[in-house]
Structure 1
Amino acid sequence: MDSYEAFECYACKTMFSGFRYKAYRISIDVRCGMFSELESYDFHDHPAVYYNDKKASPRCRACHQRGGMSQHMLSCDDCDFALDFRCFNLPRVVKHKDDEPPLSLCYGEDPNGKYWCDICEGETNPKDWFYTCSHSGVTLHVHCVLGDFSFLMPRRMIKYRRYCKFEVVPNNHCSRPFCACCQSRCIGPFFLKISNPEVIYICSEGCLKEKIIIPFIEVRSTI
């Protein structure tokens, strides 16, 4: 099986494999690197500008986290609109299951009762951006639809940070495996399969860091 290398985008902090922009030790996903301040976007009336002030990071309009996922923000000069790069790059339309209509990204709305995610069965905040289907009316968390590994090459062996190697597996089987870190079922569209030497499964980037990366760094620091 061919092996590919994964990187963490400096702008959006998303794991990805494939084409990138590189400067010294910094890698930027092509999606973030092609951002243009001159374009108009359907989620906001005014042009957005690049913003990066870690001391006064605005709250992302999509996920409502202050500073977003990476503190590299798009901020509007005409109003208080701000968006982090990870939310800015969310696909507008997603094909979640082959036998169902595609999902569309909803830019939040005024709540009219409670919304529930059909994947994790947890409550969905309608003020956050979420995915929905115009046919069935379902609402789904962005993270439940995309997970953390949607921008990695599927069915390939991936090398990450030189000491971590895993296979990206589509989560389309009848039974979903348990994550070796959080002990929960892997609910995202992809999970990681690691043989080191026993086979384990990882459901998210956070679990990957907690189970593999942080212990490795701690071991190296004691040598």
Structure 2
Amino acid sequence: MHIRCALSSGEMDAVHGDDGRRRVRINHPSHPRHELRYVVHLKCAFRTLRRVTREEGIMEFPIPINEVGEDLIGAFVRRQGVDTHTNSLILDEDVDYKFHNHKLRLVSSSSFQEENEEDDDDEEDYSCRNSELICDGCITPIHVKQASSSSSSSSSSSSKDCYYYMRCSIRSCKYYLHLSCFHLPPQLSSLPLIHRHDHSLLLQSGDKLKPREWSFCSVCKTKTSGLFYGCSTCEYFRVDIKCASMPDTIYHAAHPHPHHPLNLQSKEDVERRGSNECDADCSLLQWGSASSYTCVACDYIVHLGCAGLPASATSRRWDKRHPLLLTHDATVNRPGEFYCDHCEQQMNPRSWMYRCRICDISFHPRCLITTSGRFRNVKFGQRCVIAGAHRHTLTYQLLTTKRSCDVCGANRHEEHGFYCAACSFFICFYCGQKMIEDGKAEAVD
């Protein structure tokens, strides 16, 4: 039955189901024995006859992960009054950078093929994103199409799809930065909607060889090996640069009223509303309460960390052919029960999930641990030598090809640590961290 026909002589109201989420219910005289339910997309169900236009200049989420550097962080840097263009830089000229022990160099996308060919691994490592340059600042791919620079030194890069990024001047060192991450301001006066104190925030970076000391983001509740802002007064407050870059107002595709803007509110303001249930059902994500985006016209709430989840994910382990799309209500296109193909637990079909309709596979966001889970802000691949532990160079990564640590013997499958592909030798994070603290580890460029 069309919605316009149902409403012509029926009644519609919103009720709360057993799971606490709101449902739309229709009673109609043509079918009095049972209630009618919507079987259409929420955007269609709540569409009004009056055309509502969106405000210009408000970013819509989710965004593709390979556009975070330019669209999210780049916009944030420009709001701080910083010029992110390459005019002040010269191709192939080395410059100092505070958070790296080597000089950095501006390079064009023409060098990407060379980088890609050098990064081929002998083993199939599902934990690392091969064929991509991963930014050491925001831990997202450097795959942004940008207009070519007007710099006189970039005449060889005339393609409209040419883009630029910073990389370490030492060829063997895999340190990369988006231009926007390179231009991040070293200090912010405050972030009032994220941090309750009116304190300045300082740009900082973690030590890649000391995972235990990596900072825990107070917003998305994950550790980061990249750049973050730390409060100059409160030692406990840290926020990674992606969360710090989120705008004060956004649109989000998950909102049943797509033309309603969502405004960022502090944790305290959200709690005063009396309800802080996140639309992403992020109790599954184990993120807890934080600053959230709310709709002034309805009770819609989504945590800032959830709003920033990427629009899609890739998994060479589960689906090499298709992207996994962030889905907000899987019942729209497929009735029935849903189970996560990773943890095999039953899923709420109206909670957020990553899904491939073609292959009929679904995942909790937390189960794609390097894209949207607890390691989404960690860049793997750092090489090191640990004296007395193993004769070969070890790579910091997830354990995906075996189950146990070769030092302590504990089950460490899908945990992080140090791995030798040639010998299938693995030192778990806990054993490796003790060796690092004892001064036995040395980074390899």
The answer, yes or no, to whether TM exceeds 0.5 is yes
Question: Which of these residues, 103, 109, 128, is aligned with residue 324 of structure 2?
Answer: 103
> For the Cα contact (< 8 Å) 1:152–1:168, is it kept in 2?
no
Question: Which of these residues, 241, 250, 257, is aligned with residue 39 of structure 1?
Answer: 250
> For the Cα contact (< 8 Å) 1:14–1:86, is it kept in 2?
no
TM superposition score normalised by structure 2? 0.37
User: By how many angstroms is 1:103 displaced?
Assistant: 0.7
User: By how many angstroms is 1:59 displaced?
Assistant: 0.2
User: By how many angstroms is 1:68 displaced?
Assistant: 5.5
Q: Does 1:18 align with 2:226?
A: yes
Q: Distance in 1 between matches of 2:289 and 2:366?
A: 16
List 4+ stretches of structure 1 deviating above 6 A.
none
Q: Distance in 2 between matches of 1:125 and 1:184?
A: 29
Q: Does 1:186 align with 2:404?
A: no
Q: Does 1:58 align with 2:282?
A: no
Q: Distance in 1 between matches of 2:358 and 2:330?
A: 18
- 5+ residue gaps, structure 1, are 158-166, 203-211, 213-223
Question: Which of these residues, 239, 246, 270, is aligned with residue 28 of structure 1?
Answer: 239
Question: Which sits farther off after the overlay, 4-13 or 88-97?
Answer: 4-13
Q: Distance in 2 between matches of 1:177 and 1:105?
A: 32
Q: Say if 1:141 and 1:73 are closer, same or farther in 2 by CA, change over 3 A.
A: same
- CA deviation map 1:13-68 (0-9, x unaligned): 12112122232232211111111133323222221122212464510000254996
- CA deviation map 1:188-223 (0-9, x unaligned): xxx2228xxx94457xxxxxxxxx9xxxxxxxxxxx
Q: Say if 1:8 and 1:75 are closer, same or farther in 2 by CA, change over 3 A.
A: same
> For the Cα contact (< 8 Å) 1:130–1:139, is it kept in 2?
yes
Question: Which of these residues, 244, 259, 263, is aligned with residue 49 of structure 1?
Answer: 263
> For the Cα contact (< 8 Å) 2:282–2:306, is it kept in 1?
no
Higher relative contact order (Cα pairs below 8 Å, separated by 6+ residues): 1
Give the number of equivalent residue pairs: 185
> For the Cα contact (< 8 Å) 2:311–2:325, is it kept in 1?
yes
TM superposition score normalised by structure 1? 0.69
Identity %: 23
Equivalent residue, structure 2, for 1:160: none
Q: Say if 1:57 and 1:16 are closer, same or farther in 2 by CA, change over 3 A.
A: farther
Q: Distance in 1 between matches of 2:349 and 2:417?
A: 33
Q: Say if 1:148 and 1:92 are closer, same or farther in 2 by CA, change over 3 A.
A: same
> For the Cα contact (< 8 Å) 1:60–1:68, is it kept in 2?
no
Q: Which of the pair has more CA radius of gyration?
A: 2
Q: Distance in 1 between matches of 2:279 and 2:411?
A: 29
Q: Distance in 2 between matches of 1:151 and 1:168?
A: 14
Q: Distance in 1 between matches of 2:413 and 2:296?
A: 41
User: By how many angstroms is 1:171 displaced?
Assistant: 4.1
> For the Cα contact (< 8 Å) 2:412–2:428, is it kept in 1?
no
Q: Distance in 2 between matches of 1:184 and 1:125?
A: 29
Q: Distance in 2 between matches of 1:65 and 1:120?
A: 16
Equivalent residue, structure 1, for 2:209: 3
Amino acid at match of 1:34: S
- CA deviation map 1:95-139 (0-9, x unaligned): 111733211100124482211111112211111100101320211
